[in-house]
Chains A and B, each alone.
Chain A
Amino acid sequence: MTNVLLEARGIGKRFGGVLALKDVSLTIRCGEIYGLIGPNGAGKTTLFNVFTGLYPRDGGEVEFAGKPLQLDSPHRVAAAGIARTFQNIRLFGNMTARENVMVGRHVRTRAGVFGAILRSRAEREEEAAIRRRADELLHYVGIADRADDLARNLAYGDQRRLEIARALATEPQLLALDEPAAGMNATETAALRELIEGLRRDGVTVLLIEHDVKLVMGLCNRVAVLDHGEKIAEDVPEVVRANPKVIEAYLGTSAH
């Protein structure tokens, strides 16, 4: 049996009187691409924000890589090994592509103010390593030629890639992608699919929220379906696809 990377038990989240997540439990195994789908407003992004420490949760536990995960602040989650991207791309617009990725190395490096001011040998070496790693990652996601461009000047698809490179720079064990194909055309989606498959080959576990059901079904090892804040299915794509509850959830929403 493959190792469990992340296990969530009974996650709940309330916004005022609205119950956005109800007792959600799920298990992500090492090395798989785990899809999270569901109709609009089902709570996918909310769950994501809870997992990455952006929202405080109202109950439940998360165990990550065998240890309880501190969910009180996003930077600790990043340090623990979960990196994420955002549905509506959030880059540092006035920094170059390379600098964006270099920021991702922050959590794995340690130079402080005095190191920076004195430019000690250790600091210079670390800085060079950060830069090298950033260039490697830009190359990996296929935008090495845009390294010196400001992030805000990149094409849409390249911005998505840059965001993934920045997330990878934190050396995540789990990469969480929030609708990476949103707004992409067919060609860009195909390229993205290749990139994600490449990640799996290289041993990165991926949590994928996606609206594009075809992409999820073709890519994921296992899929969970959320509806009205509850998990209604979790299994391999073929089984999930045939689940009557899932079909109802999707038809139910598309009927209005």
Chain B
Amino acid sequence: MDILLQQIINGLTTGSVYAVVALGYTMVYGVIQLINFAHGEVVMIGAMVAFAVIAALAGSALPPAVIVLAGVLAAVPACMLLGYGLERIAYRPLRHAPRLAPLITAIGMSIILQHLALLVWGRNPIAFPQLIENPSYGIGGAAISGVQIAIIAISLLMMGGLSWLVYRTRFGIAIRATAENVHVASLMGVNADRVIAATFVIGAALGAMAGVMYGSYYGIAHYTMGFVLGLKAFSAAVLGGIGNIPGAMVGGLLLGLVEALGTGYIGDYTDLCRWPGAAEGGWMGERCADGAHFVLFGSNYQDVFAFLMLILVLVLRPSGLLGERVSERA
């Protein structure tokens, strides 16, 4: 099996989910410069709602495709409503408060949503029932599953759709104008409140889809899944340039690849017994006898890559790959 190709396929799969989640962060940041910490939880609730519906219908006579579709059709509106509610109830009243206030509210909302989900769905993960066969196709010595193909295809479709909305429609102009300058946009007749609410709703809809995809990929949905997924997606948004829509897509895919390749190879490269001159009477001595390993960092450090990437970007190029240099307005 070709490990490199396999990791690239896996990385593109998770990366496209990161990209879709990152869009939610970056759109909101673009218009109101807020890190919406609760976005990860919106993604989680999307997955939970969909999986609950799918699990409930799993025993029925409905065809599997209909059941999955029902799950998605329940999750997306639920999350859109949640996104709208968040903006309306939690963030809008604080729009003119000091910067710390909405940020603290966002982390508070994240905790509330996470624990409400725990109350509703319990501590145990909801498993994706065995409904549909997940065929596997071989390409060039690696395997790609039907779910992976679906995830990548649906993500690309949604990214394309969002790009069309933002760059090709009147409403997109309103979003970009608001992101540029809320006051000027308002003077030009843009209803800034509506635009801001819309970015939350669109971001939440994308997030719901991402949640369902992420859950299907790993086979489970759990009330804590939003936290790390959210952190990674935000890192992806920063990597691409926060506030920049194509940047979020590029950042997400890139982060997925880095994470998959890093996780795939870190064990080999930090195995001291495979370092030159270490084994066979080398400086590692007996510890490497009989093909033993001495792995400093194994694949259980998977979640560290996104963070290292985030720090690296902040040190080397805080504006991100596609972002413009931002200077503080005086």
Contacts and interface: CB of A to CB of B under 8 A. Distances in A.
B139 interface: no
Which of B324, B327, B328, B330 is packed against the most chain A CB atoms within 10 Å?
B330
A54 B330 CA distance: 7
Nearest to A178: B330
Interface in A37-69: 45, 49, 54-56
Interface string B303-330: 0000000000000000000001001101
Task: Give the bracket for the number of chain B residues in contact with chain A.
Answer: under 10
Interface in A77-99: 86
A49 B328 CA distance: 11
Contacts of A86: 330
Task: Give the bracket for the number of chain A residues in contact with chain B.
Answer: under 10
A45 B330 CA distance: 9
B101 to A, nearest CB: 13
Contact of B330 (A16, A55, A56): A55
Contacts of B327: 55-56
Contacts of B324: 16
Nearest to A88: B330
B58 to A, nearest CB: 55
Contacts of A49: 330
A91 B195 CA distance: 32
B244 to A, nearest CB: 15
A4 B324 CA distance: 38
Contacts of A56: 327
Contacts of B330: 45, 49, 54-55, 86
Nearest to A84: B330
Nearest to A45: B330
Nearest to A94: B98
Contacts of A45: 330
Nearest to A56: B327
A148 to B, nearest CB: 23
A55 B330 CA distance: 9
A16 B324 CA distance: 9
A139 to B, nearest CB: 30
A86 B327 CA distance: 17
8 contacts: A16-B324, A45-B330, A54-B328, A54-B330, A55-B327, A55-B330, A56-B327, A86-B330
Interface of A: 16, 45, 49, 54-56, 86
Leading 9 A-B pairs by shortest Cβ distance: A54-B330, A49-B330, A55-B327, A86-B330, A55-B330, A56-B327, A45-B330, A54-B328, A16-B324
